[in-house]
């Protein structure tokens, strides 16, 4: 009699643990699928960056940048406020301000950001651009410059960087 009761308990324990394993496996499958979708979504985000010269002053050059982030995915994304670095031949001409802000982009939505970018100053610009180009800019002579706008952010906590080649006219 004792053995019959024990075998019944053992069978019940095996059934309960089997159900727990199956439920755990199903939960792991859906969690993995969700994380994979978030990773794929962060890789497929579209970025458009435009930069133009706002003004040339005694302190340097002020740029205006517009960054548009598009989410072509069926899930909402959480992104860090974008940071833009303006580069010319590998040297930084100026950067946007850092903001510790997380923004949500809805599914199939977009978000635009207007950023002010202040250059480091004329001495740094002379080292990066050269004296002849700086003299043309300061004298108001029409000058074209090819820069790289490096936009960086975090999409669903995954680092994201995109570089755009942009032609600026002074």
Q: Is 142 a residue whose pLDDT tops 70? A: yes
Burial of residue 10 (CB within 10 Å: 0-12, 13-18, 19+) is exposed
Give 140's pLDDT tier (boundaries 50, 70, 90). confident
Q: How confident is the model at residue 8 (pLDDT cuts 50, 70, 90)?
A: low
In sequence order, which ranges of the chain are alpha helices (DSSP H)? 2-43, 122-129, 131-139
In CATH, the architecture of 45-169 is Sandwich (2.60)
Residue whose token pair is 């909402």: 76
Please give the Cα distance from 143 to 56 (Å, whole number): 13
Question: Tokens 């930069």 — which residue?
Answer: 51
Angle, in degrees to the nearest 10, between helices 131-139 and 122-129: 120
Residue-range domain boundaries for the chain: 1-43, 45-169
């Amino acid at each position: 009699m004792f053995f019959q009761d024990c075998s019944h308990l053992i069978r019940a324990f095996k059934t309960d643990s089997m159900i727990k394993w199956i439920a755990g496996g199903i939960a792991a499958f859906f969690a993995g699928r969700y994380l994979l979708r978030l990773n794929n979504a962060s890789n497929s985000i579209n970025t458009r960056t435009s930069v133009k010269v706002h003004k040339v002053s005694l302190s340097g050059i002020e740029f205006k940048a517009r960054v548009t982030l598009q989410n072509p995915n069926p899930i909402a994304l959480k992104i860090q406020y974008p940071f833009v670095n303006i580069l010319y031949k590998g040297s930084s001409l100026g950067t946007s301000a850092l903001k510790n802000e997380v923004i949500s982009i809805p599914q199939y939505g977009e978000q635009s950001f207007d950023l002010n970018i202040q250059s480091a100053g004329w001495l740094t610009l002379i080292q990066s651009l050269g004296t002849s180009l700086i003299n043309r800019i300061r004298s108001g002579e029409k000058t074209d410059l090819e820069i790289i706008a490096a936009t960086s952010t975090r999409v669903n906590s995954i680092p994201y960087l995109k570089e755009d080649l942009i032609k600026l006219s002074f």
